[in-house]
Amino acid sequence: MSRLIVVSNRTPGKGPAAGGLAVALRKTLAEREGFWFGWSGKLVETPAKEARFDDVDGLSVAQIDLNRDDHQAYYAGFSNSILWPSFHLRLDLATIEGHWYEGYRRVNAQFARSLLPLIKPGDIIWVHDYHLIPLASELRALGVRNRIGFYLHIPFPTLDALYAIPNHQQLMQDLSRYDLIGMQAQRDISAFNEFVEHHSPPDLAGNEPQFIDFGRTEVAAFPIGSDPEAFAKLAVSSAATKMIKRMEPVLGKQTLILGVDRLDYSKGLPQRVEAYEKLLANDARFRRNVHMLQVAPPSRDSIKEYQEISETLDAMCGRVMGRFAEPDWSPLTYVKRAYGQASLAGLYRLAKVGLVTPLRDGMNLVAHEYVGSQDPKDPGVLVLSRFAGAAEIFDTALLVNPFDTDETAEALRMALDMPLDERISRWQSLMEAARKHSVENWSKSFLDRLTPSTPPKASTRDFLYLASVA
C-alpha cells in the first residue's frame, strides 16, 4: 500500500485531547506508513529548511518552524482575516491587506521546499484546509507528480464572496493542480461548480482571467463525521459521570440546553442567546425550569473581530441575566474554557437540547458528538442550523434558520415539549446517519478515491527530480 503524507497547518499534539480527525488519521497512518507534516508552533528569525521528525504518541510527525512576519501574514492575515470570513460569507468582517497574500504564498512555498526531500515516488499526499490551497502548485513547480488530494474543512464560498477575495483567480488555479478535492457538503460542490461554469470578471486593468482547466481534478463531497460509538462509550465513562454528578445538584429539576463551540463569529452565538431570551420571554412556564449552558473557549483572539464577538457575547449574556435572573435562579451559564472530550460527552448526555446554530459551518462536529453521546432510552433533541453542512446528513434534527431567532425560539419550545417516543425515533435516525458518516468512513472513502488502483512504478524521472533537489 502506498505511504500517506498528511499535511495541515498544525500537526496533532500529544495527549488525549486530540480531535476526531487526528485519531482517525493516526489509525490510517499506522496501517499505511507515512507521516504528518506541518508547522511546529515555533516562530524563529530564519527557519531551517529541513523538517524535524518527532514521535507523538506513536505517530510520526515532521515539523518546520516559521518566520514571525510570514506567519502573521499567512495565518492571522490571509487565512483568517480574508479566507475564513469570505468562505463563511462574512465579507463585512474581512480585512484586506494586499501584502498578506505574499506571506501566504511564501509559507506555502516553504512547506513545499521542506516537504519535497521527504516525498517518495508513489506516496499519496493529503493536504488539509484553506491555509494550504497553493501547496499542490508549489509542489508541482518543484517537479512532484505524486497524487495530491485536498480537503476543505470549511464551506466553499458563493460566487460573489469568492470574487471579493484578492487573487481568487490564482487560488482557483492552485486548486486545479490537485488530483482530488474533497468538500463537506453538496452545497459546496454546487458553489464550486458555479465558479467553473462562469467566467470571472476582468480585473481593474481590464485583463480577462485565464481559463482554468479542471480536467484532471475530481471534485466530490466527503462529509466528515466523528466517532459516535466512541462518544457513546465516553458518555458513560467515569470522567463523564463525574461531570454529570457535578452538574446534577446545581441543575436540580431544570432541563439543560447546551451549546458547545469555539468562540467564533461563524457559530451564531449572539443569535442563539437572543433566541433563548425569546423563549423565556414568550413562555413563562420555562423560567426556573430550564438552564442554558454555553461553553465557548476563545480562539484566534489576536484578531480584532474575535475580540469583538467575545465582547458582544459577554454583553448579551449579561442582558439575559439582568432581565430574567432571580436571587435563586440563573437562566444561563457562559463558560469560556475548553474541556476534555469525556467531560464534554457527559455534558452532551445530560443536555435535553443540543443547540447547534452556526450561521454557516463546513460540517459541525459538535452536532455529531451530541448525537453519539445520547442515552438511547431517553435521548435529547438536536436543534440544528440549516446552514451547517451537518444539516444535509441530520434531516431529523429540528432544522432552523439561525438568523431567525423567533424560529429558533420556537424550535427550543418544540424540543423541550417533545414526547419521548418522538425523541427516540428522531434520535435513532440521527444516530444511524452519524454511524454512516463516521470519521473513519470519511477518511477511508477519501483515500480510496485518491489512491490509484495500480500504484505507479518509480520511474527514472521520479528519482531524477528527487536527486536534483536533494
Closer to ligand ADQ by CB, 138 or 369: give it: 369
Instruction: Please tell me whether residue 363 binds ligand ADQ under the rule CB under 6 A.
Output: yes
Instruction: Give the CA dihedral 422, 427, 429, 432, nearest 10 degrees.
Output: -160
Structure letter (DSSP) for residue 92: G
The stretch among 243-251, 285-293, 315-323, 361-369 that binds ligand ADQ (CB under 6 A) is 361-369
Site string for ligand ADQ, 141-170 (x = CB under 6 A): ------------xx----------------
Which residues, 193 to 232, sit near ligand ADQ by CB under 6 A? 224
How long, in residues, is the chain? 470
Cβ neighbours of residue 29 closer than 8 Å, sequence gap 6 or more: 4, 6, 35, 36, 59, 60
- Starting at the earlier edge strand, list the strands of the sheet with 59-67: 52-56, 59-67, 34-44, 4-10, 124-128, 147-151, 180-183, 218-221
The active-site residue, picked from 71, 88, 131, 153, is 153
Q: Which of 122, 166, 297, 298 binds ligand ADQ (CB under 6 A)?
A: 297
Pick from 219, 320, 244, 337: nearest CA to 278: 320
Nearer to ligand ADQ, 232 or 260 (CB): 260
By C-beta, is 324 or 370 nearer to ligand ADQ? 370
Q: What is the CA radius of gyration of the chain?
A: 23
Catalytic annotation present for 291: no
Give helix 238-251 / helix 341-350 axis angle, nearest 10°: 40
Q: Cα(186)–Cα(470) distance, rounded to whole angstroms? A: 42
Does the footprint of ligand ADQ cover residue 440 (CB under 6 A)? no
- Note whether 258 binds ligand ADQ by CB under 6 A: no
Residue from 294, 378, 374, 388 nearest 336 by CA: 294
The conformation of residue 329, written as its DSSP 8-state character, comes to B
Give 5 or 366: the residue with its C-beta nearer to ligand ADQ. Answer: 366
434 binds ligand ADQ (CB under 6 A): no
Catalytic residue (one of 361, 368, 437, 462): 361
Of the pair 131, 153, the CB lying nearest ligand ADQ is at: 153
Question: Is 269 one of the binding residues for ligand ADQ (CB under 6 A)?
Answer: no
Q: Which of residues 15-44 bind ligand ADQ (CB under 6 A)?
A: 19
The span from the CA of 346 to the CA of 341, in Å, is 9
Residue 325 makes CB contacts below 8 A (sequence gap 6+) with 331
Three cell numbers, residue 219: 471534485
Closest CA to 365 of 381, 380, 345, 343: 345
Q: Is 129 left (phi over 0), alpha (psi -120 to 50) or beta?
A: left
Among 65, 305, 361, 462, binds ligand ADQ (CB under 6 A): 361
* Per-residue contact string for residues 367-406; x = within reach of ligand ADQ by CB under 6 A: --x-------------------------------------
**Of 142, 212, 338, 414, the one binding ligand ADQ by CB under 6 A:** 338
CB of 19 or CB of 41, closer to ligand ADQ = 19
Catalytic annotation on 448? Answer: no
Report helix, strand or coil for 384: strand
Select from 261, 277, 392, 440 the one that contacts ligand ADQ (CB under 6 A): 261
Q: How far is the CB of 309 from ligand ADQ (least distance, A)?
A: 13
Question: Which residue is closest to ligand ADQ by CB?
Answer: 362
Hey, what's the cell of 171?
A: 487560488
User: Interacting stretch for ligand ADQ, rule CB under 6 A, among 50-58, 165-173, 256-264, 303-311?
Assistant: 256-264
Write out the residues near ligand ADQ by the rule CB under 6 A: 19, 153-154, 224, 260-262, 295, 297, 338-339, 344, 361-366, 369
- Catalytically active residues, by annotation: 153, 361
